[in-house]
Amino acid sequence: MTTYRALQVANSRQFSLTDRELTAPEPGHVRLKVEYCGVCHSDVLAVEGLRDDPTAPVVPGHEIVGVIDAVGEGVRAWHVGERVGVGFLGGHCGECDFCRRGDFVNCTDQPRTGTDVDGGYAEYAYARTSGLVRVPAGLSSSDAAPLLCAGITTYSALRDLNARPGSLVAIQGIGGLGHLGVQYAKALGYRVAAIARGTEKAELARQLGADEYVDSTAADPGQALEKLGGAAAVVATAASGSSMSPLVAGLAPRGKMVVVGAALDPISVATPDLIFGTRTVTGSLTGSAIENEDSLAFAAARDVRPMNEVVPWTDAPQAYERMMSGKARFRVVLDLAA
C-alpha cells in the first residue's frame, strides 16, 4: 500500500473522503493501523472549525485504538504488533517547565489528537510515543476506544478525590461521561448518587451501580444531596453551567465539585456555600498516557464498560450528527476493523 483513506474536515462540517500518502513515522513516533475510533463531543474543535486555521483540512478523532505497524527512528519501548490507544492529549514533550515538574497533562507543547494533528477517522494514524496507551488483553478494542477520553476524564476526576470508601459521591448527568462515571465511582467503593432530569434514566442508573437517584426536575438537587447526608464530591458531567450551580450547596463540609462537562453558560455559586463548609469547585482535564493506561486496566479488572453504538467508519459525518443530537446511547464508535 502507498495510500490510505481518511475522512478529513475543513471549515465547518465540510467532510471529505480522501486518499493520504502512507509515509514512514517520524522519529519518536509510531504508525498504527486503526481498528476503532470513538466519536467524542470534543471533536467539535475540528468539525466546527474551532481551530487557528479552520480552512486547513484535519482528520478528527481522538479515541483511537489500533495496532502498531511501523516505528520511527529512536523508538525503543514500542514494537510492531502491539495494540495501543491514543487519546486527546497526543503526547507530552518532556522539556517544557510543566513536563520537567511531572505535570504532563498541562504540557505546553502537546498536540491535541484530531485537532492539531490528524486523528482516527482514518485507516492509519500517527502518534508520539509519549502519547501511547497499552490496551489490556481483557478489553475489546471497541470498548477501549471511548475509555481513552470519556473514561479517563471521569476516572481522573474520581481518582483525585480525598474521600473515604463508602462516602456519598454524586454523578451529575447520565450520558456519555456520566454512565461511565457511575460505574467507576461504584467500582472505587463509593456510595453513588446519580443525578439526571426526569425519571427515565432511574432504572439504568441503578443497573450501572447507583445507590440513589435524584430527579433534578422534581426537587432541587442540592437539597436532595443534603437530605442524603451531603456529598463528599460531585462530578458534574452535563454540559450546562446552570444545572451545575445548585449542586455546590449539596456538598458536605470540605466537599468538592469537579467539573468535567464543558458548558457555554457559567456556573453561579453563592459565596457562603463555599466559605461555610470550606467547599471547592474545580475542573479536571483527562489524564496522561500512563494514567490512561491505569484507567483501562482498572476498567478491564472491574468490568467498567461503555454503552456503544458501533457504525462503519465511512458513516462518520452521520455519527457525528447523532452524537451532537444527544440521541446516542451513549458513545458512538467508528469501526475500521471490518
For 247-279, write each residue's pLDDT tens digit. 999 999 999 999 999 999 999 999 999 999 999
237 and 199 within one domain: yes
Structure-block grid coordinates of residue 139:
478489553
pLDDT band at 131 (very low <50, low <70, confident <90, very high): very high
pLDDT the model gives residue 197: 96
pLDDT band at 338 (very low <50, low <70, confident <90, very high): confident
Within 120-270, where are the H helices?
141-146, 152-159, 178-187, 202-208, 221-227, 241-244
Residue 13 is assigned to a structural domain of this protein: yes
Asked whether residue 1 carries a pLDDT value surpassing 90, the answer given is no
pLDDT band at 289 (very low <50, low <70, confident <90, very high): very high
145 and 17 within one domain: yes
Domain boundary among 283, 300, 323: 283
pLDDT band at 296 (very low <50, low <70, confident <90, very high): very high
Quick one: what percent of the chain has pLDDT higher than 90?
Answer: 99
Pairing of strands 29-39, 168-172: unpaired
86 and 74 within one domain: yes
Residue 154 is assigned to a structural domain of this protein: no
185 and 296 within one domain: no
- Domain total of the chain: 2
Residue 155 is assigned to a structural domain of this protein: no
Asked whether residue 97 carries a pLDDT value surpassing 90, the answer given is yes
Q: Backbone dihedral region of 105: left (phi > 0), alpha (psi from -120 to 50 degrees) or beta? A: alpha
143 and 22 within one domain: yes
Nearest to 281 by CA among 157, 131, 96: 157
Model confidence pLDDT, tens digit, residues 157-172: 999 998 999 999 999 9
Model confidence pLDDT, tens digit, residues 51-91: 999 999 999 999 999 999 999 999 999 999 999 999 999 99
Asked whether residue 22 carries a pLDDT value surpassing 90, the answer given is yes
318 and 219 within one domain: no
Sign of the four-CA dihedral 185, 189, 190, 192: positive
Is the full-model pTM beyond 0.85?
yes
Residue 227 is assigned to a structural domain of this protein: yes
184 and 110 within one domain: no
Domain boundary among 283, 311, 326: 283
What's the whole-number average pLDDT of the chain? 97
pLDDT the model gives residue 263: 92
pLDDT band at 49 (very low <50, low <70, confident <90, very high): very high
Instruction: List the CATH number of the domain containing 133.
Output: 3.90.180.10
Instruction: List the CATH number of the domain containing 227.
Output: 3.40.50.720
Model confidence pLDDT, tens digit, residues 198-209: 999 999 999 999
Residue 313 is assigned to a structural domain of this protein: yes
114 and 10 within one domain: yes
Which residue type sits at 226? Answer: E
Domain boundary among 283, 301, 323: 283
216 and 204 within one domain: yes
Residue 156 is assigned to a structural domain of this protein: no
My answer on whether omega of the bond before 88 falls inside 30° of 0, hence cis, is no
139 and 9 within one domain: yes
Domain membership of residue 195 as a residue range: 161-283
For residues 183-195, give the mean pLDDT.
98
For residues 8-18, give the mean pLDDT.
98
Asked whether residue 211 carries a pLDDT value surpassing 90, the answer given is yes
In angstroms, the CA 119 to CA 56 distance is 14
Residue 57 is assigned to a structural domain of this protein: yes
Asked whether residue 185 carries a pLDDT value surpassing 90, the answer given is yes
55 CB-contact burial (10 Å; exposed 0-12 / middle 13-18 / buried 19+): exposed
28 and 139 within one domain: yes
298 and 201 within one domain: no
Residue 308 is assigned to a structural domain of this protein: yes
Q: How many CB atoms lie within 10 A of CB 119?
A: 32
